[in-house]
A and B are shown apart, each in its own frame.
Chain A
Amino acid sequence: MFAVLPLVYLVVRAGDKGAAFAWAYLRRDSTVELVVRSLALTVTVTVACLVLGVGLAFVTTRVALPGRAVWMTLAALPLAIPSYVSAYAWISALPSLAGFGGAALVLTACTYPYVYLPVAAALSRTDPALEEMARSLGRTPWQTFRSVTLRQLRPAAASGALLVALYVLSDFGAVSLMRFDAFTRVIYTSYRASFDRTPAAVLSLVLVVITVAITMGEVRSRGKAQQWRTGAGAARVPVPLVLGRRTTLAAIGGCLAAALLSLGVPLASLAYWIGRGSSLDLDWSRLAGAGVTTVLVSAAGAVVCVLLAIPVGVLAARHRSPAVRMIEQATFAGHALPGIVVALALIFFATRYARPLYLEMPLVIAAYVVLFLPAAVGAVRASVALSSPRVEEIARGLGRSPYGVLGAVTLPLAAPGVAAGAALVMLTCMKELPATLLLHPTGSETLAIRLWSLTRVGSYADAAPYAAALVLLAALPTVWLGQALRQRLDSTETVP
């Protein structure tokens, strides 16, 4: 329901001036160019993220690399860095980056973990038996990788790529700092220019159509493939690949370059600004207050998202009826909407039909649900899809009720993936800005809000501690994500 609310709002607003106006606006050359430009950025970043994410995932989970644990954590950490912080770091160091190249670089550096995390999780969980069989039947390692490993990774990689694509389409901070006219930036400026909501609503609807098309493409690419283990019993942990010295160096070089681009530059810039400012002036209690609010609201957002995502995700993984598909895609539509559109839709709704909730925390959480439910659904679906429905059928056969099966078999098996999804959602909630800004209760503030209001007046030095706190807080769930991954690889005991 929540996910569809912004759509209804958009249709109401886009129709304000009649269908003829909307149609004329759509057919303008600049609208067409805008679609092409945004799609070019989306495709570039998604492809780059797939290559980087799958490559890093394979190297860190399957290769006997020195310091593997460290690389794993580092590869996930860029998630902790908001794209607007990263974009600011880059553009203040290299002003000439502005434009397509800069936007693509920053967005790739910030979003490849969306591919890395699910793929690495899937790699560490897939049964090596299939690959060993392929090898024993005469396939070369490269052929095995292509025909067996990659195929097993497809659901995880595709759901990660979908998140990346949707993130790129809805990102506002990075593209506007890079002065690249993508959808969100044009929607924002067209709105600001005339205070007329009709063109903005028309453009937003175009964005929704693109999102739904991409989502359907992803569903199709998932296809009818089934990814289960070879048989019953425990899966073994894959044996790490030992590479020659040159390839090992190349692998380490790749990991290092990714870490430098996505972590090194933003952190160096933060350190520079903290060094420039006088930390004596810092109001610690205010910083702590903003930190506590941030954690509470994002954790609540994550929990609500995951609770709502479980039914949708399980259905999506197990039953592919048209109705289920529609529910799943409806949740995705909200995700591509710019935060400001979702926020305005909720304002429209709450001031008319839910006045007591207006400008209260539950409304902020509702916005998070609209924006980030797809991330949670993707995580639930991908992790449920990896366990065989045969196990559930056996449990049913042994007399469990359908809900009993869900609680006793499906969810425990999917638990690591679901927990990872919750951590992911919590991270994105922490970094979310436009909706939080418009909907937060007057008088309360989060780290992102404070960061924004300080950078707006150019107080970069004063803003740096808030940026650092945000990155640190966001790093905790990220590090945990990396460690959960590593423990699974390190443990020699078999997982039930």
Chain B
Amino acid sequence: MSVRRGLLAFVATLLAALATLSACSEPEADLVIYSGRSEELVAPLIEDMEAELDIAVDVRYGDSAELAAQLLEEGDATEADLFFSQDAGALSALAQAGLLSDLDQNVLDVVADRYQDPQGRWVATSARARVVTYDPTQAPEATEFDSVDDLLQEKYRGEIGFAPTNASFQSFVTALRVTRGDDAARQWLEDFSALEPAAYENNIAVLEAVNGGDVSLGLINHYYWYQMQQELGAEAMNAKIHYLDSEDAGALVNVAGVGVLRSSEAADLAADAVDFLLSEQAQQYFADETAEYPVREGVESTTYDLVPLEKIDSAPIDLNDLGSLEETLALLDEVGLT
């Protein structure tokens, strides 16, 4: 019987411990943010926000898609006031479900039209560009590339690294479909697949492979290269990057963004928070810390020597056209690039 008594005591202690745990982990926050952007990136910025607006902010971190799923399931019962997303797709899904409220026009005016929802329900906070990274000893000719078509050469068989499961790669394929049509996109993917490109888990692994000379070319987002160069030092960095011609899907500029939940009871604070994320201070943070492109005009990175966004952002792709991820995944599945 002593076993049972011991077990009971154990259960009682546990429940008591849990009660204290949940009791003390709840200082009431003024604002709750669901963030699909990682804590490592966003936490310092949130601290600045708390100081600037003099409020207490609680952040729930997660994957953008999973948090969007959660918000769709929670509906009006959510505790979230603000959704900070890694990509535009999750934001448009919430907007279409009627969960986001309209943003103030003076907030939207800060950002170029192409980096916001046409109906003003979400706005970009930073932008990223697709680039080709190359090993200058194996493929110095990469600087001559105009288009992703230039990758389709027999000499690059097995020499191109890419991250098939990465959302940015999939957005690039969507852009390819939007600019060239489904048939031409399928043709490109089939030719690409025939070259037996090397699949990696993520952009960082692709860049490491190019930097180490395992493959000579790679398809990544621009900021990974800048961050790695910063970490290793310019002399130790072997890989270089090249921006394709701005008309090409391979130079797609994509965004991270933010929207206010319709059910928020702190809508004014949430609007202030959006304001803050677009302020010069926050925009400078993105430019200096993450090497992303600020979306507010006139802000330039002081740590990274970024190619100006104006030079690459003329690609004729509307971000709102990138919603057809399902068709893209079906196409990738069809040609066997998963």
Chain B residue numbers with a CB within 8 Å of A355 are 77
| In contact, A438 and B77 (Cβ under 8 angstroms) | no
| In contact, B77 and A444 (Cβ under 8 angstroms) | no
Q: How far is B11's CA from A303's CA once the two chains are assembled, in angstroms?
A: 7
| Interface flag for A193 (CB, 8 Å) | yes
| Interface flag for A189 (CB, 8 Å) | yes
Residue pairs across A and B with CB atoms within 8 Å: the count is: 112
Question: 8 Å CB contacts to A: which residues of B184-202?
Answer: 198-202
Chain A residue numbers with a CB within 8 Å of B3 are 412, 415
Q: How far is B166's CA from A342's CA once the two chains are assembled, in angstroms?
A: 25
Question: 8 Å CB contacts to B: which residues of A394-422?
Answer: 407, 411-412, 415
| Interface flag for B213 (CB, 8 Å) | no
| Interface flag for B70 (CB, 8 Å) | yes
Chain B residue numbers with a CB within 8 Å of A444 are 21, 25
Q: How far is B200's CA from A352's CA once the two chains are assembled, in angstroms?
A: 42
Other-chain contact of A438, B66, B72, B78 (Cβ < 8 Å): B66
Other-chain contact of A458, B11, B74, B204, B338 (Cβ < 8 Å): B204
Q: How far is B24's CA from A293's CA once the two chains are assembled, in angstroms?
A: 13
Chain A residue numbers with a CB within 8 Å of B75 are 351
Question: 8 Å CB contacts to A: which residues of B61-79?
Answer: 61-63, 65-66, 68-70, 72-75, 77-79
Q: How far is B332's CA from A189's CA once the two chains are assembled, in angstroms?
A: 12
| Interface flag for A222 (CB, 8 Å) | no
Q: How far is B66's CA from A453's CA once the two chains are assembled, in angstroms?
A: 13
Other-chain contact of B25, A91, A191, A443 (Cβ < 8 Å): A443
Q: How far is B17's CA from A263's CA once the two chains are assembled, in angstroms?
A: 33
Chain B residue numbers with a CB within 8 Å of A307 are 11
Q: Scoring A residues 423 to 442 as 1 if CB is less than 8 Å from chain B, else 0, what string do you get?
A: 00000000000100110011
Other-chain contact of B79, A181, A359, A434, A457 (Cβ < 8 Å): A359
Chain A residue numbers with a CB within 8 Å of B15 are 300
Shortest 6 CB-CB contacts between residues of A and residues of B: A195-B93, A351-B77, A192-B65, A458-B204, A193-B326, A193-B325
| Interface flag for A299 (CB, 8 Å) | yes
Q: How far is B72's CA from A289's CA once the two chains are assembled, in angstroms?
A: 31
Q: Scoring A residues 180 to 224 as 1 if CB is less than 8 Å from chain B, else 0, what string do you get?
A: 010000000111111101000000000000000000000000000
| Interface flag for A69 (CB, 8 Å) | no
Interface residues of A (CB under 8 A from B): 30, 91-92, 95, 98, 176-177, 179, 181, 189-195, 197, 293, 296-297, 299-300, 303, 307, 340, 344, 347-348, 351-352, 355, 358-362, 407, 411-412, 415, 434, 437-438, 441-444, 453-454, 456-459
What are 28 A-B contacts defined by CB distance under 8 Å? A95-B198, A176-B165, A177-B201, A181-B338, A193-B326, A193-B329, A195-B69, A195-B72, A307-B11, A344-B69, A347-B73, A347-B74, A348-B73, A351-B74, A351-B77, A352-B77, A355-B77, A361-B18, A361-B21, A361-B22, A407-B4, A442-B58, A442-B79, A443-B25, A453-B38, A456-B38, A457-B40, A458-B204
Chain B residue numbers with a CB within 8 Å of A177 are 201
